[in-house]
Amino acid sequence: MMKFLNWELLSLMLMIGLLVFISNRKHLLSMLLSLEFIVLIIFFLLFIYLNFMNFEMFFSMVFLTFSVCEGALGLSILVSLIRTHGNDNFKSFSIL
């Protein structure tokens, strides 16, 4: 029963994170935060799955490394965007 509760709770949190990521398109920082939330929930799901199947945790460390690199890349894009345009509001950018 407890394992089903973990799967259902994490799946619900993943759907909420995806909904926030899709609906929030004004600021880049809030999109990056919701993306990091989704990555964290996927990491928890992967960790529970690997523990349930008695696999090794090497792949979870690789996934965690790639998610940290993704977060650093997103923050560097955010900093360069704020330095060039002054804010992270998408409506103030030109499409061209």
Assign 9 to helix, strand or coil.
helix
Write the DSSP symbol of residue 25: -
The model's pLDDT over 8-43, given as tens digits with 9 standing for 90+, comes to 888 888 899 889 888 877 778 888 888 899 999 999
Q: Does domain 2-92 have CATH number 3.90.1150.10?
A: no
Looking only at Cα atoms, what is the longest distance across the chain?
A: 54
Average pLDDT, the chain: 83
Higher pLDDT, 26 or 1: 26
Q: What is the pTM of this model?
A: 0.80
- Structural tokens at position 88: 């992270």
